[in-house]
A = this chain, B = another copy of it.
Amino acid sequence: MNDAHLIRILRELLGFENVLTATDCMAAYLADWRGRYRGVALCVVRPATTAAVSAVVRACTEAGVAMVPQGGNTSLCGAATPAFDGRSVLISLSRMQRVRALDTANNTITVEAGCVLQAVQERAAQAERLFPLSLAAEGSCQIGGNLSTNAGGVQVLRYGNMRELTLGLEVVLPSGEIWNGLRALRKDNTGYDLKHLFIGAEGTLGIITAAVLKLFPLPRATATAWLAIASPTLAVRLLSDLQARFGASLTACELVSEAALALVRKHIPGAHPTLSASPWYLLIELSGGSDDTAQRDALTAFLETALDEYVLGDVLLAQSGEQARRLWALRENIGEAQKRAGPSIKHDVSLPISRLPEFVERADRALEQAFPEIRIVTFGHIGDGNLHYNQSKSAASENAAFLAAQPEVNRIVHDLVHELGGSISAEHGIGQLKRMELLRYKSPVEIEMMRAIKRTLDPRGLMNPGKVL
Protein backbone atom coordinates (compact mmCIF):
# COMPACT_ATOMS: atom_id res chain seq x y z
CA MET A 1 0.00 0.00 0.00
CA ASN A 2 1.50 3.34 -0.97
CA ASP A 3 1.26 6.51 1.09
CA ALA A 4 -1.49 8.11 -0.98
CA HIS A 5 -3.59 4.99 -0.70
CA LEU A 6 -3.20 4.86 3.10
CA ILE A 7 -4.11 8.53 3.43
CA ARG A 8 -7.20 7.97 1.28
CA ILE A 9 -8.26 5.11 3.53
CA LEU A 10 -7.67 7.18 6.66
CA ARG A 11 -9.76 10.02 5.20
CA GLU A 12 -12.57 7.61 4.48
CA LEU A 13 -12.40 6.43 8.09
CA LEU A 14 -12.11 9.80 9.84
CA GLY A 15 -13.29 12.46 7.40
CA PHE A 16 -11.08 14.86 5.50
CA GLU A 17 -10.74 17.34 8.37
CA ASN A 18 -9.26 14.77 10.74
CA VAL A 19 -6.38 13.69 8.52
CA LEU A 20 -3.86 16.53 8.38
CA THR A 21 -1.17 16.48 5.72
CA ALA A 22 -0.30 20.17 5.22
CA THR A 23 3.06 21.06 6.70
CA ASP A 24 1.74 24.05 8.61
CA CYS A 25 -1.17 22.07 10.10
CA MET A 26 1.12 19.26 11.19
CA ALA A 27 3.87 21.47 12.62
CA ALA A 28 2.50 21.72 16.16
CA TYR A 29 2.29 17.92 16.39
CA LEU A 30 5.72 17.19 14.97
CA ALA A 31 7.82 19.14 17.45
CA ASP A 32 7.84 18.92 21.25
CA TRP A 33 6.87 21.98 23.29
CA ARG A 34 10.45 22.71 24.34
CA GLY A 35 11.62 22.63 20.70
CA ARG A 36 14.20 19.93 21.38
CA TYR A 37 12.77 17.29 19.05
CA ARG A 38 11.35 17.50 15.56
CA GLY A 39 9.99 14.60 13.53
CA VAL A 40 8.25 13.74 10.27
CA ALA A 41 4.98 11.96 9.52
CA LEU A 42 2.86 11.11 6.50
CA CYS A 43 -0.08 12.67 8.26
CA VAL A 44 -1.63 13.51 11.61
CA VAL A 45 -4.91 11.72 12.34
CA ARG A 46 -7.47 12.63 14.98
CA PRO A 47 -9.83 9.75 15.71
CA ALA A 48 -12.66 10.52 18.15
CA THR A 49 -13.66 7.00 19.23
CA THR A 50 -12.01 3.75 20.23
CA ALA A 51 -13.45 2.09 17.13
CA ALA A 52 -11.85 4.77 14.98
CA VAL A 53 -8.47 4.29 16.70
CA SER A 54 -8.81 0.57 16.06
CA ALA A 55 -9.57 1.16 12.37
CA VAL A 56 -6.61 3.53 12.03
CA VAL A 57 -4.27 1.00 13.66
CA ARG A 58 -5.51 -1.77 11.36
CA ALA A 59 -4.96 0.39 8.30
CA CYS A 60 -1.47 1.43 9.38
CA THR A 61 -0.51 -2.11 10.31
CA GLU A 62 -1.72 -3.39 6.97
CA ALA A 63 0.33 -0.70 5.25
CA GLY A 64 3.37 -1.47 7.42
CA VAL A 65 3.47 2.14 8.59
CA ALA A 66 4.65 3.10 12.07
CA MET A 67 2.34 4.88 14.55
CA VAL A 68 3.17 7.61 17.08
CA PRO A 69 0.43 8.22 19.66
CA GLN A 70 0.26 11.72 21.13
CA GLY A 71 -1.73 13.37 23.90
CA GLY A 72 -1.05 16.89 25.14
CA ASN A 73 2.48 16.80 23.71
CA THR A 74 4.08 17.83 27.02
CA SER A 75 6.72 15.08 27.20
CA LEU A 76 10.08 16.14 28.57
CA CYS A 77 11.80 13.23 26.80
CA GLY A 78 10.52 13.46 23.23
CA ALA A 79 8.24 10.46 23.73
CA ALA A 80 5.39 11.90 21.64
CA THR A 81 7.45 13.21 18.72
CA PRO A 82 8.24 10.89 15.76
CA ALA A 83 11.80 9.63 16.11
CA PHE A 84 11.74 7.57 12.99
CA ASP A 85 12.81 8.56 9.51
CA GLY A 86 10.60 5.95 7.85
CA ARG A 87 6.89 6.25 7.15
CA SER A 88 4.80 7.02 10.21
CA VAL A 89 1.37 8.32 11.12
CA LEU A 90 0.94 10.52 14.17
CA ILE A 91 -2.24 9.58 16.07
CA SER A 92 -3.55 12.42 18.23
CA LEU A 93 -5.95 11.23 20.92
CA SER A 94 -7.04 14.76 21.82
CA ARG A 95 -10.56 14.40 20.41
CA MET A 96 -11.30 11.49 22.76
CA GLN A 97 -12.50 13.69 25.61
CA ARG A 98 -15.54 11.96 27.06
CA VAL A 99 -16.02 11.22 30.73
CA ARG A 100 -17.76 7.89 30.28
CA ALA A 101 -18.81 7.33 33.88
CA LEU A 102 -18.45 8.73 37.39
CA ASP A 103 -19.42 6.46 40.29
CA THR A 104 -19.26 8.27 43.63
CA ALA A 105 -20.11 5.18 45.70
CA ASN A 106 -17.29 3.25 44.02
CA ASN A 107 -15.01 6.30 43.94
CA THR A 108 -14.13 5.84 40.28
CA ILE A 109 -14.18 7.90 37.11
CA THR A 110 -13.96 6.41 33.60
CA VAL A 111 -12.34 8.79 31.14
CA GLU A 112 -11.03 8.75 27.61
CA ALA A 113 -7.37 9.21 26.77
CA GLY A 114 -7.74 12.73 25.39
CA CYS A 115 -9.22 14.25 28.56
CA VAL A 116 -6.99 17.01 29.87
CA LEU A 117 -5.82 16.23 33.41
CA GLN A 118 -7.22 19.46 34.83
CA ALA A 119 -10.63 18.72 33.32
CA VAL A 120 -10.64 15.37 35.14
CA GLN A 121 -9.66 17.06 38.41
CA GLU A 122 -12.48 19.57 37.95
CA ARG A 123 -15.07 16.93 37.03
CA ALA A 124 -14.13 14.99 40.17
CA ALA A 125 -14.33 18.12 42.34
CA GLN A 126 -17.84 18.82 41.05
CA ALA A 127 -18.80 15.43 42.50
CA GLU A 128 -17.02 16.28 45.78
CA ARG A 129 -14.21 13.92 44.98
CA LEU A 130 -10.47 14.33 44.53
CA PHE A 131 -8.52 13.06 41.56
CA PRO A 132 -5.09 13.56 43.13
CA LEU A 133 -2.66 13.49 40.20
CA SER A 134 -1.24 17.01 40.06
CA LEU A 135 1.71 18.29 38.06
CA ALA A 136 2.96 21.42 36.34
CA ALA A 137 1.53 20.53 32.90
CA GLU A 138 -1.96 19.68 34.21
CA GLY A 139 -3.63 22.38 32.12
CA SER A 140 -2.55 20.73 28.87
CA CYS A 141 -1.33 17.17 29.48
CA GLN A 142 -3.82 14.41 28.76
CA ILE A 143 -4.77 11.25 30.61
CA GLY A 144 -3.40 8.96 27.89
CA GLY A 145 0.00 10.58 28.24
CA ASN A 146 -0.22 10.54 32.04
CA LEU A 147 -0.83 6.79 31.82
CA SER A 148 1.79 6.12 29.18
CA THR A 149 4.49 7.86 31.23
CA ASN A 150 3.15 6.81 34.64
CA ALA A 151 3.07 10.46 35.67
CA GLY A 152 3.99 11.52 39.21
CA GLY A 153 3.84 15.05 40.63
CA VAL A 154 3.34 16.63 43.99
CA GLN A 155 0.91 14.26 45.74
CA VAL A 156 2.54 10.88 45.06
CA LEU A 157 3.64 10.76 48.70
CA ARG A 158 0.04 10.20 49.76
CA TYR A 159 -1.83 8.96 46.70
CA GLY A 160 0.76 7.21 44.51
CA ASN A 161 1.62 7.84 40.89
CA MET A 162 -0.64 7.31 37.88
CA ARG A 163 -0.12 3.55 37.98
CA GLU A 164 -1.46 3.34 41.51
CA LEU A 165 -4.41 5.54 40.61
CA THR A 166 -5.53 3.27 37.77
CA LEU A 167 -7.98 0.37 38.12
CA GLY A 168 -8.68 -0.48 34.49
CA LEU A 169 -7.67 0.27 30.90
CA GLU A 170 -8.99 0.09 27.38
CA VAL A 171 -6.22 -0.40 24.85
CA VAL A 172 -6.05 -0.71 21.08
CA LEU A 173 -3.42 -3.38 20.47
CA PRO A 174 -0.92 -3.26 17.58
CA SER A 175 -3.15 -5.76 15.74
CA GLY A 176 -6.02 -3.27 15.91
CA GLU A 177 -7.92 -5.48 18.37
CA ILE A 178 -9.51 -3.68 21.31
CA TRP A 179 -8.74 -4.95 24.79
CA ASN A 180 -11.50 -3.95 27.16
CA GLY A 181 -9.90 -4.05 30.57
CA LEU A 182 -12.08 -1.25 31.98
CA ARG A 183 -12.66 -2.88 35.34
CA ALA A 184 -13.62 -0.66 38.24
CA LEU A 185 -12.43 -3.05 40.95
CA ARG A 186 -10.06 -2.62 43.92
CA LYS A 187 -9.31 -6.33 43.90
CA ASP A 188 -9.10 -8.60 40.87
CA ASN A 189 -6.75 -11.57 40.90
CA THR A 190 -7.79 -13.29 37.70
CA GLY A 191 -4.52 -13.93 35.91
CA TYR A 192 -1.75 -11.61 34.77
CA ASP A 193 -2.45 -7.95 35.47
CA LEU A 194 -1.95 -6.76 31.90
CA LYS A 195 -2.73 -3.10 32.49
CA HIS A 196 0.67 -2.65 34.10
CA LEU A 197 2.36 -3.52 30.80
CA PHE A 198 0.73 -0.57 29.06
CA ILE A 199 1.08 1.95 31.90
CA GLY A 200 4.50 3.52 31.52
CA ALA A 201 5.16 1.87 28.13
CA GLU A 202 5.06 5.24 26.33
CA GLY A 203 2.83 3.90 23.56
CA THR A 204 5.29 1.23 22.44
CA LEU A 205 2.93 -1.71 23.13
CA GLY A 206 -0.46 -0.30 22.11
CA ILE A 207 -2.60 2.81 22.35
CA ILE A 208 -4.46 3.47 25.60
CA THR A 209 -7.91 4.86 24.73
CA ALA A 210 -9.66 4.98 28.12
CA ALA A 211 -9.12 4.25 31.81
CA VAL A 212 -10.93 3.74 35.09
CA LEU A 213 -9.26 5.95 37.70
CA LYS A 214 -9.56 6.04 41.49
CA LEU A 215 -11.18 8.97 43.22
CA PHE A 216 -10.81 10.00 46.86
CA PRO A 217 -12.84 12.04 49.33
CA LEU A 218 -12.24 15.74 48.76
CA PRO A 219 -10.08 16.98 51.64
CA ARG A 220 -11.78 20.00 53.17
CA ALA A 221 -8.93 21.14 55.39
CA THR A 222 -5.30 21.81 54.62
CA ALA A 223 -2.31 23.28 56.39
CA THR A 224 0.65 24.53 54.39
CA ALA A 225 4.05 25.56 55.70
CA TRP A 226 7.31 26.77 54.20
CA LEU A 227 10.36 26.37 56.37
CA ALA A 228 14.08 26.91 56.18
CA ILE A 229 16.24 23.90 57.03
CA ALA A 230 20.00 23.52 57.06
CA SER A 231 20.57 20.33 55.07
CA PRO A 232 19.02 17.39 53.19
CA THR A 233 20.10 15.14 56.08
CA LEU A 234 17.90 17.09 58.47
CA ALA A 235 15.13 17.24 55.88
CA VAL A 236 15.04 13.44 55.60
CA ARG A 237 14.86 13.13 59.39
CA LEU A 238 12.11 15.71 59.62
CA LEU A 239 10.17 13.89 56.89
CA SER A 240 10.35 10.69 58.91
CA ASP A 241 9.04 12.45 62.03
CA LEU A 242 6.27 14.13 60.03
CA GLN A 243 5.15 10.77 58.71
CA ALA A 244 5.21 9.20 62.16
CA ARG A 245 3.11 12.06 63.51
CA PHE A 246 0.71 12.72 60.62
CA GLY A 247 0.65 9.48 58.58
CA ALA A 248 -1.41 9.80 55.42
CA SER A 249 -2.37 13.39 56.29
CA LEU A 250 1.07 14.44 55.07
CA THR A 251 0.20 14.87 51.39
CA ALA A 252 3.22 16.83 50.15
CA CYS A 253 6.84 17.33 51.21
CA GLU A 254 8.91 19.25 48.69
CA LEU A 255 12.59 20.13 48.96
CA VAL A 256 13.89 23.36 47.42
CA SER A 257 17.48 24.60 47.36
CA GLU A 258 18.43 28.24 47.79
CA ALA A 259 19.69 28.28 44.18
CA ALA A 260 16.25 27.18 42.99
CA LEU A 261 14.43 29.75 45.13
CA ALA A 262 16.86 32.48 44.01
CA LEU A 263 15.83 31.88 40.39
CA VAL A 264 12.18 32.31 41.34
CA ARG A 265 12.97 35.50 43.28
CA LYS A 266 14.86 36.87 40.29
CA HIS A 267 12.63 35.86 37.40
CA ILE A 268 9.08 35.62 38.75
CA PRO A 269 7.44 38.92 39.72
CA GLY A 270 5.76 39.01 43.12
CA ALA A 271 7.52 36.05 44.70
CA HIS A 272 7.04 36.02 48.46
CA PRO A 273 9.22 38.82 49.91
CA THR A 274 9.52 37.92 53.61
CA LEU A 275 11.88 34.98 53.36
CA SER A 276 15.40 35.20 54.64
CA ALA A 277 17.97 33.03 52.89
CA SER A 278 18.75 29.45 53.91
CA PRO A 279 20.64 26.70 52.06
CA TRP A 280 17.48 24.57 51.85
CA TYR A 281 13.71 24.85 52.29
CA LEU A 282 10.83 22.45 52.73
CA LEU A 283 7.25 22.97 51.59
CA ILE A 284 4.94 20.83 53.71
CA GLU A 285 1.24 20.23 53.25
CA LEU A 286 -1.20 18.35 55.45
CA SER A 287 -4.66 17.64 54.13
CA GLY A 288 -7.75 15.67 55.11
CA GLY A 289 -10.53 16.10 57.62
CA SER A 290 -12.72 19.15 57.65
CA ASP A 291 -11.17 21.61 60.10
CA ASP A 292 -8.52 24.01 58.77
CA THR A 293 -7.80 25.44 62.22
CA ALA A 294 -7.25 22.01 63.78
CA GLN A 295 -4.85 21.07 60.96
CA ARG A 296 -2.93 24.32 61.36
CA ASP A 297 -2.79 23.97 65.15
CA ALA A 298 -1.46 20.43 64.87
CA LEU A 299 1.21 21.48 62.39
CA THR A 300 2.14 24.51 64.52
CA ALA A 301 2.53 22.37 67.62
CA PHE A 302 4.71 19.93 65.72
CA LEU A 303 6.91 22.63 64.22
CA GLU A 304 7.36 24.36 67.58
CA THR A 305 8.90 21.23 69.04
CA ALA A 306 10.91 20.71 65.84
CA LEU A 307 12.38 24.22 65.76
CA ASP A 308 15.39 23.46 67.92
CA GLU A 309 15.94 19.83 67.01
CA TYR A 310 16.04 20.55 63.29
CA VAL A 311 17.72 23.96 63.46
CA LEU A 312 14.86 25.45 61.50
CA GLY A 313 15.15 29.01 60.28
CA ASP A 314 12.09 30.94 59.10
CA VAL A 315 8.80 29.06 59.37
CA LEU A 316 5.87 30.47 57.39
CA LEU A 317 2.51 28.88 58.10
CA ALA A 318 -0.19 29.85 55.60
CA GLN A 319 -3.14 31.48 57.36
CA SER A 320 -5.43 31.35 54.31
CA GLY A 321 -5.88 29.60 51.01
CA GLU A 322 -4.38 32.61 49.28
CA GLN A 323 -1.24 32.43 51.43
CA ALA A 324 -0.97 28.70 50.75
CA ARG A 325 -1.18 29.36 47.00
CA ARG A 326 1.63 31.91 47.27
CA LEU A 327 3.84 29.38 49.06
CA TRP A 328 3.08 26.76 46.43
CA ALA A 329 3.87 29.28 43.70
CA LEU A 330 7.44 29.47 45.03
CA ARG A 331 7.79 25.76 44.34
CA GLU A 332 5.76 25.55 41.15
CA ASN A 333 7.50 28.47 39.44
CA ILE A 334 10.96 26.94 39.66
CA GLY A 335 10.61 25.31 36.23
CA GLU A 336 9.46 28.53 34.60
CA ALA A 337 12.14 30.59 36.36
CA GLN A 338 14.78 28.16 35.19
CA LYS A 339 13.54 28.41 31.63
CA ARG A 340 13.75 32.22 31.77
CA ALA A 341 17.28 32.01 33.15
CA GLY A 342 18.42 30.10 30.06
CA PRO A 343 18.88 26.50 29.03
CA SER A 344 20.02 23.89 31.52
CA ILE A 345 20.84 20.23 31.82
CA LYS A 346 18.04 18.40 33.62
CA HIS A 347 18.01 15.18 35.58
CA ASP A 348 14.89 13.51 36.93
CA VAL A 349 16.30 11.00 39.38
CA SER A 350 15.06 8.98 42.31
CA LEU A 351 16.91 7.35 45.16
CA PRO A 352 16.09 5.46 48.30
CA ILE A 353 15.16 8.34 50.61
CA SER A 354 17.91 7.26 53.00
CA ARG A 355 20.52 7.88 50.27
CA LEU A 356 19.32 11.33 49.18
CA PRO A 357 21.69 13.34 51.40
CA GLU A 358 24.71 11.34 50.26
CA PHE A 359 23.65 11.74 46.63
CA VAL A 360 23.31 15.52 46.87
CA GLU A 361 26.62 15.90 48.66
CA ARG A 362 28.64 13.65 46.35
CA ALA A 363 27.01 14.77 43.10
CA ASP A 364 27.46 18.45 43.98
CA ARG A 365 31.11 17.88 44.82
CA ALA A 366 31.87 15.87 41.67
CA LEU A 367 30.21 18.40 39.41
CA GLU A 368 31.88 21.37 41.08
CA GLN A 369 35.24 19.72 40.63
CA ALA A 370 34.61 18.96 36.96
CA PHE A 371 32.88 22.25 36.17
CA PRO A 372 33.97 25.20 38.30
CA GLU A 373 31.33 27.94 38.54
CA ILE A 374 28.56 25.45 37.83
CA ARG A 375 25.08 26.44 39.01
CA ILE A 376 23.23 23.50 40.53
CA VAL A 377 19.48 23.87 40.90
CA THR A 378 18.05 21.12 43.09
CA PHE A 379 14.43 20.63 44.02
CA GLY A 380 11.89 17.85 44.09
CA HIS A 381 9.59 15.46 45.83
CA ILE A 382 11.72 14.40 48.79
CA GLY A 383 8.88 12.28 50.16
CA ASP A 384 9.18 10.07 47.05
CA GLY A 385 12.97 10.18 46.88
CA ASN A 386 12.61 12.10 43.60
CA LEU A 387 14.92 15.03 42.81
CA HIS A 388 14.98 17.33 39.84
CA TYR A 389 18.71 17.90 39.76
CA ASN A 390 19.53 20.50 37.13
CA GLN A 391 22.68 22.35 36.05
CA SER A 392 23.75 25.41 34.14
CA LYS A 393 26.63 27.87 34.19
CA SER A 394 26.27 30.90 36.43
CA ALA A 395 27.18 33.25 33.58
CA ALA A 396 24.77 32.92 30.68
CA SER A 397 27.58 33.59 28.22
CA GLU A 398 29.32 30.39 29.25
CA ASN A 399 26.22 28.22 28.95
CA ALA A 400 26.54 27.28 25.27
CA ALA A 401 29.89 25.62 25.79
CA PHE A 402 28.62 24.02 28.99
CA LEU A 403 25.62 22.41 27.25
CA ALA A 404 28.04 20.61 24.93
CA ALA A 405 29.29 18.88 28.04
CA GLN A 406 25.86 17.34 28.70
CA PRO A 407 27.03 13.74 28.15
CA GLU A 408 29.79 14.25 30.70
CA VAL A 409 27.40 15.85 33.21
CA ASN A 410 24.86 13.06 32.68
CA ARG A 411 27.57 10.49 33.23
CA ILE A 412 28.64 11.93 36.59
CA VAL A 413 25.06 12.22 37.82
CA HIS A 414 23.65 8.96 36.46
CA ASP A 415 26.64 6.83 37.45
CA LEU A 416 26.22 8.03 41.03
CA VAL A 417 22.46 7.46 40.93
CA HIS A 418 23.10 3.92 39.71
CA GLU A 419 25.75 3.29 42.37
CA LEU A 420 23.31 4.36 45.09
CA GLY A 421 20.48 2.12 43.82
CA GLY A 422 18.47 4.91 42.21
CA SER A 423 16.66 5.47 38.93
CA ILE A 424 17.70 7.74 36.05
CA SER A 425 14.08 8.48 35.26
CA ALA A 426 11.79 8.88 38.24
CA GLU A 427 8.69 10.32 36.62
CA HIS A 428 9.47 11.65 33.11
CA GLY A 429 10.03 8.35 31.32
CA ILE A 430 12.61 7.41 28.69
CA GLY A 431 11.28 8.64 25.33
CA GLN A 432 14.06 9.43 22.87
CA LEU A 433 16.16 11.23 25.46
CA LYS A 434 17.31 8.37 27.68
CA ARG A 435 17.27 5.32 25.40
CA MET A 436 21.02 4.95 25.43
CA GLU A 437 21.17 5.59 29.17
CA LEU A 438 18.65 2.81 29.68
CA LEU A 439 20.91 0.36 27.87
CA ARG A 440 23.83 1.47 30.01
CA TYR A 441 22.18 0.97 33.37
CA LYS A 442 19.64 -1.85 32.98
CA SER A 443 20.86 -5.41 33.29
CA PRO A 444 20.98 -7.45 30.05
CA VAL A 445 18.43 -9.84 31.61
CA GLU A 446 15.95 -6.99 32.10
CA ILE A 447 16.55 -5.42 28.67
CA GLU A 448 16.05 -8.81 27.03
CA MET A 449 12.78 -9.36 28.94
CA MET A 450 11.55 -5.95 27.82
CA ARG A 451 12.50 -6.71 24.22
CA ALA A 452 10.80 -10.09 24.36
CA ILE A 453 7.57 -8.46 25.59
CA LYS A 454 7.84 -5.85 22.83
CA ARG A 455 8.36 -8.53 20.14
CA THR A 456 5.40 -10.50 21.49
CA LEU A 457 2.87 -7.66 21.57
CA ASP A 458 4.22 -5.65 18.61
CA PRO A 459 6.01 -8.17 16.39
CA ARG A 460 6.40 -5.75 13.47
CA GLY A 461 7.74 -2.96 15.67
CA LEU A 462 5.26 -0.38 14.43
CA MET A 463 4.21 1.17 17.76
CA ASN A 464 6.13 4.38 18.54
CA PRO A 465 9.49 3.17 17.22
CA GLY A 466 12.65 4.76 18.54
CA LYS A 467 11.23 5.22 22.04
CA VAL A 468 12.16 3.39 25.26
CA LEU A 469 13.85 0.39 23.63
Contact = CB atoms under 8 A, between A and B. Distances in A.
Given A245-B290, A289-B247, A189 B453 contact: no
Interface residues of A, number: 92
A354 B103 contact: yes
Contacts of A163: 193
Most chain B C-beta atoms within 10 Å of own C-beta, residue among A106, A108, A201, A386: A106
Contact of A442 (B108, B156, B164, B191): B191
Contacts of A346: none
A350 B186 contact: yes
A73 interface: no
B456 A354 contact: no
Contacts of A457: 449, 452
A43 to B, nearest CB: 28
Interface in A412-437: 421-430, 434
B449 A179 contact: yes
A358 to B, nearest CB: 11
Interface string A144-188: 000001101000101011011000000001000111110111111
Nearest to A351: B185
Contact of A152 (B187, B194, B196, B350): B187
Contact of A354 (B106, B200, B434): B106
B423 A187 contact: yes
Contact of A426 (B103, B104, B160, B187): B187
Given A189-B429, A190-B430, A385-B185, A160 B152 contact: no
A421 to B, nearest CB: 6
Interface stretch (A13-21, A236-244, A324-332): A236-244
Interface in A41-81: none
A4 interface: no
16 contacts: A103-B354, A105-B352, A105-B353, A105-B354, A150-B193, A173-B445, A179-B443, A183-B423, A184-B352, A187-B426, A190-B441, A191-B438, A192-B450, A194-B449, A247-B288, A248-B288
